[in-house]
Structure 1
Amino acid sequence: MLVAERHEKIVEVVNDKGSIRVSELSQLFGVTEETIRRDLERLETDGKLRRSHGGAVSVKTTEAEAPYTEREITNVKEKMEVATEAIAHVKVNDRIILDASTTAWYMAKRLPDMPLTVVTNSMKVAMELASREKIKVISVGGTLLSKSLSFVGPQAEQALESYYVNKAFVSCQGIHPERGLSDSNEMQALVKKKMIEMSETVYLLVDYSKYGVKAFSRIDSTEAVDYVITDSKTNTTQLEPFKDREITFIRANEGTVHL
């Protein structure tokens, strides 16, 4: 099979399955995993797919909410960096919001068992924190979105209005200097907006792949955010368009970025 033909078939398989691992592609096409990784790198450069931790994800999922199982294997290293940095900003007796993003779930997995109140619309986050004796978990109800294992809709938004927290940790699908924060799912975007409104200080959790992206549903303007926590792969060029905004960028393992 010619390289060009293999590339075409790889894109077809990824689009059909939504996501696939390198090992599966290696077996399917009878080539080494290193060859598949080079193929995926080239196809990502050409905009045909997105590489993920140990595999690839269809670019078609970027305009619709991707299943949690797909998001769990996308940019794992970068999300873990962001989550670890975010935890450093959580203090004893804080009242915080964690949204239904995979990055927030990584935060929940690593949060120490200390006196905290956590409000969330995520089943995954609530279940992760259920065994922590010192953390009080408040889960808002509403309409269950099976892809994200989260509650959304008017009930979730109304429930959030009952609370006021000092810190919110939310993510999104895109951050753009003009478009602001956006997400693929309209109902999810409305819940995130309400979370921002109910918080004294807002931390946006985004990795390098979210900059310049304009997703379907607008959440809020960049002015609604106090801090952006990002991964070490994010370069200064990506942050330059935001230098006139009153936002503090914090890069994992480095601290505050001075633009």
Structure 2
Amino acid sequence: MTFQKRAHKILELLETYGEVEIRQLATKIGVSEVTVRRDLTSMAANGLLYRTHGGAMKISDVIKPVSFANKAEVNLKAKDAICKRAAEDIAEGDVIFIDCGSTAFRLCQFIKNKNIKVITNSLPIVNELQHSAVTINLIGGEVDASRQAIHGTMALEHISRYHADKAFLGVDGITAEGLYAGSEYEAANTLAMAAQTNCTYMLCDASKIGKTSYLKFNNLSIVDILVTNYNGPELNKFQSKGISLSPVTV
């Protein structure tokens, strides 16, 4: 297959998913991961996509959030492994924040039988946890239809009224220099939840490690525990910043 045909297929997959991994592209196109890496580097140089640590994103999605439905379908195995590990630290009676990220959403399947209270701004999480053992506190404010989440001034005020034992949050990117988000609304909610909890868990699949995006909104000081399937040199940098690591395998 020629480079032009591979590039066309890559752009089609990016249009569908918003963000893709190298392994995913290699499987769907039928070429080696080495070839995919070379193609992504060339396409990024020509402004056709945004290169991430583990794959690529649509250029438009660097400054515009990917819809929740698309993001929820990416890296499912890694997200499930991360959330299964995180759920092990949730005790009966805990009050927890869960944000609107697609990784945090996968936590639902592992906590349905726990007698806990969940405070969230995610509509999919509310829907998923209905009729379970979990008590739900839905944050109020303006609805973002694309992200299926609630944001805004009233949402921040709502969060400030509660205190949680733990917060399970996600970001668009994390490096030794800080945390990155796709919008100011999501960054504000992340900061608000982290300020109202005893312990902040950051749930990040490998594609988020070493990745920057539209907005750097904070340093790593709000992160207590990083749960990730990434196993590379960045982990030493995170540890040097005082972050506890909880690695998982996929």
TM-score of the superposed pair, with normalisation by structure 1: 0.81
Which of 221, 228, 236 is 1:223 aligned to?
221
Distance 1:74 1:18, change over 3 A: closer
Unpaired runs of 5+ residues, structure 2, are 21-26
SS of the residue aligned with 1:241?
Answer: helix
**Paired residue for 1:243?**
239
1:11–1:49 CA contact under 8 A, matched in 2: no
State percent identity of aligned pairs. Answer: 21
Query: Following TM superposition, by how much is the alpha carbon of 1:124 offset from its aligned partner in structure 2, in angstroms?
Result: 0.5
One-letter identity of the residue aligned with 1:246: G
**Which one of the candidate residues 180, 183, 203 is aligned to 1:182?**
180
The answer on whether the counterparts of 1:85 and 1:253 sit within 8 Å (CA) in structure 2 is no
Go from structure 1 to structure 2 and tell me whether the alpha carbon gap of 1:16 and 1:203 turns closer, same or farther (over 3 Å shift). closer
1:129-162 CA-to-partner distances (Å, cap 9, x unmatched) read: 1111x31100011111111100000010000011
CA distance in 2, matches of 1:20, 1:167: 29
Alignment of 1:109-188 (within 5 A): 109-132=109-132, 134-178=133-177, 180-188=178-186
Matched to 2:152, the amino acid is G
Equivalent AA in structure 2 for residue 126 of structure 1: V
Cα distance in 2 for residues equivalent to 1:173 and 1:240: 20
**Max Rg structure:** 1
Q: Secondary structure at the match of 1:126?
A: helix
Number of matched pairs? 237
- What is the letter of the counterpart of residue 69 of structure 1? A
Larger deviation, residues 63-72 vs 195-204: 63-72
Where 1:9 maps in the other structure, the secondary structure is helix
Deviates more, 1:211-220 or 1:188-197: 211-220
1:186-243 Cα offsets, whole Å, 9 max, x none, are 1111011100001111101111111222222234321111100111xx1231212223
Which of 191, 197, 200 aligns to 1:199? It is: 197
Of stretches 139-148 and 108-117 in structure 1, the one that deviates more from structure 2 is 108-117
In 1: Cα distance, 2:106 partner to 2:14 partner: 27
Q: What's the TM-score once normalised by structure 2's chain length?
A: 0.84
CA distance in 1, matches of 2:170, 2:130: 22
Q: Once the 2 structures are TM-superposed, how far is the Cα of residue 117 of structure 1 from its aligned partner?
A: 0.6
Whole-angstrom distance in 2 between the partners of 1:219 and 1:49: 20
1:35 counterpart residue number: 30
Instruction: Measure the CA separation in 1 of the matches of 2:16 and 2:110.
Output: 31
